[in-house]
Amino acid sequence: MILTDLFYLALPALALFFILEIVQLAIYLKHTLTPETYHKMYPVWVLLLVSFLLLNTAFIAEEFFGSETLYLLFEMVAVLVFVGATAMIRRGIISVNVLMGVTGELRAKINEKTLELKMAKDQLEEYSKSLEKMVEERTKELQENVGELTEARTALINMMDDVEAANKFLRESVEKLKEVDKMKDQLLSNVSHELRTPITIVKSALELMTDEDVSEEQQKLIKMSKSNLNRLDTLVGDLLYFSKKERHIPDDEIEKVNLKEVIMEAVSGISHMADINNVTVTTDVSKDIPSVDASKSRLLQVFTNLLGNAIKFNKEKGGITVKASYVPGEDKVTVSVSDTGVGIPREQLPRVFERFYQVDGTTSRKYGGTGLGLAITKSIVEAHGGKIWVESEVGKGTSFKFTIPLRLKKKYIVTLPLGEKEKWQR
């Protein structure tokens, strides 16, 4: 009785376990075998299905009819069918070739997967080698770049050292130049002041000689001496002007200046020189020109310099015209000094206001002068807050034009301490 109960309990479980295993095997083989080979195994699947149905019938008989005899009978038949399917395989009812085919196909599948894995491994190794080579190349390039950067850094450091040395040399040179410039200015100032005294004495002596009865020949010598003394006095004045660093107008020189009076005074001062060179000077000054805040002596120097240049570079029987105009409502007066002289080449116009510059090397030998007159003129005009420029055409003449503001701004005014004002005197 006990064995019957055990068999009763274990047989369904065993049958179900084998059926599940066979179903799992069938599913696996369907996905791994060819359809032709898989179809040859249909008898096995039919026997297994029959055994499964018999087991279900046994369960139904026992459940609904309460017959343990039917239950045991169907279970025994199911087991016999299952054993028969197994026996069919063992005894060769299912061809060995089928099983061999299954085994061969499985082996082929395994070999195919193995080959695929080997190819993947080879590709992975090749890719790994290529990566290693690439890393080596990049490492080499980086090392080369690091070497170049190191060399560049070294060169830059050396260059910075050279620049620092050059800057040090330049600083020392600038200091020396400043010292030399200071000594030069001091020398010019001292020499100019020392020359002024004998020039004044000689001028006074010549004036006394003019009042006496002298021969015509002596009169000529006296006039020549005066002319040369005036040139020397002008040169000394130019040197004194450039020995000063200050380019502002001393406050005690600023006054209301009548431009027409200054122009007429300048024309009168160069009339003798104009007569000698047979040059006619005319003026065209508007009556409504207002007075300007300026240094009268320095404006007189501007007109004298421009008129002197116009006379020197004019033609025989040439002419000079001085114009001054004012447009009501404007804050400046415009002045021009024009001549009918030889003119200035266009390419040299930008340099005419440079110190010591002359159009050609023969100018100073033929007309005299140091090349400072126009530079001083420009400096004085700009010190008043004005502007100056030149227009010229070779063979037809030259026109110097400048503007003077009506009111001098504070930034152009300087207050000199006591003891310094005599350095500004002409």
Which one of 33, 62, 94 terminates a domain?
Answer: 94
> Mean pLDDT for each 10-residue chunk of the chain (426 residues)?
53 61 65 64 66 63 59 64 61 48 62 82 86 88 86 88 88 86 73 75 77 74 74 71 63 87 90 85 89 90 90 85 90 94 89 78 54 86 93 92 88 54 46
The predicted pLDDT at position 401 comes to 96
Q: Is residue 221 part of a domain?
A: no
The predicted pLDDT at position 389 comes to 96
Q: Is residue 399 part of a domain?
A: yes
Q: Which domain holds residue 24?
A: 2-94
Q: Is residue 218 part of a domain?
A: no
The predicted pLDDT at position 121 comes to 84
Q: Is residue 340 part of a domain?
A: yes
The predicted pLDDT at position 419 comes to 45
Q: Under a CB-based contact definition with an 8 Å cutoff, are residues 233 and 202 in contact? A: no
Total of domains in the chain: 2
Q: Is residue 309 part of a domain?
A: yes
Q: Kindly report the number of other CB atoms within 10 A of residue 301's CB atom.
A: 21
The predicted pLDDT at position 44 comes to 65
CATH of the domain at 356: 3.30.565.10
The predicted pLDDT at position 53 comes to 66
Q: Is residue 289 part of a domain?
A: yes
The predicted pLDDT at position 136 comes to 87
The predicted pLDDT at position 424 comes to 43
The predicted pLDDT at position 333 comes to 94
Which one of 46, 72, 94 terminates a domain?
Answer: 94
The predicted pLDDT at position 264 comes to 93
Q: Is residue 354 part of a domain?
A: yes
Which one of 94, 112, 144 terminates a domain?
Answer: 94
Q: Is residue 153 part of a domain?
A: no
